[in-house]
Amino acid sequence: MRAQNTSKNTLLLPLAVGIASLTGLAQPVQAAAIIDKAIFTDTGDLALTGGAYIYGDVHTNANFTIDGGSTVTGFTSAVGTIFNDPGFPGFLLGGSQAGAASIAYPDILTVIAGLGAPVDHNISGNLTLTGSQPFSGIYHVTGNIDISSDYAGTATFLADGNIMVSAFGGSITGAVLNANFPFGLALYSANGLVDVSGDDAISGSVAAKTTANVSNSTPVSAPEPSSALLLGLGGLGAAMSRKRKKA
């Protein structure tokens, strides 16, 4: 399925499959719960402004704000409050729930290690990507990540600090972590915030320990998992597959 809007940002929801093989492993199951969301925040608020377009579900363990004609196509849930600016409202097409149950925020590095997925780039300090600099693989940065200009690539960016994405014409496709855990995780902040602005195209999940802000961006489409990944599913994976087909 593809988002039809051509002037706003879409953070695309990867389909949760293959969870049966991870049953009983707390961190991978928690990771599945957050990566199943297009955007997730833990201790801080989630804000969509200025025409952000989110394809998939969003969740915050804090408060949620939307305005400026921004759109969420899936379900919106918040442990705290949901505020839709009456002066310039957004669109919650899949419904919403304030006072929702909290979802644990996992340590993605622990999950990756348990899955045997290699971290391709270990960077001490901050990482800045500018110009047309290509990127690929899984990045772990002990500081902050700043991505700007016309970046493009398939990657997962994991920061101990903040993640700032500001560009015009940029593109990130979240890397699949493992064949048994085929999620497209794009941006994950272990301790900080995530801010996405400009004219960005992000295909994959975004998770922030504190706040997340998305504004003024462009939609993209994410590929569905291959049919082979849908074989032999049980429990959560199969249920979520059926849910997406009905959406």
**Predicted pLDDT of residue 235:** 30
Mean pLDDT, the chain, as a whole number? 77
Q: Domain extents for the chain?
A: 19-111+185-246
Instruction: Give mean pLDDT, residues 96-118.
Output: 88
DSSP 1-51: -----SSS--BPPPP---GGGGTT-HHHHHHHHHHTSSEEESSS-EEEETT
- The token duo for 245 is 């087909």
Query: What's this model's pTM, rounded to 2 decimal places?
Result: 0.81
The pLDDT tens digits of the residues spanning 212-233 come to 999 876 443 333 333 333 332 2
Residue 21: is its pLDDT beyond 50? no
**Predicted pLDDT of residue 231:** 30
Residue 115: is its pLDDT beyond 50? yes
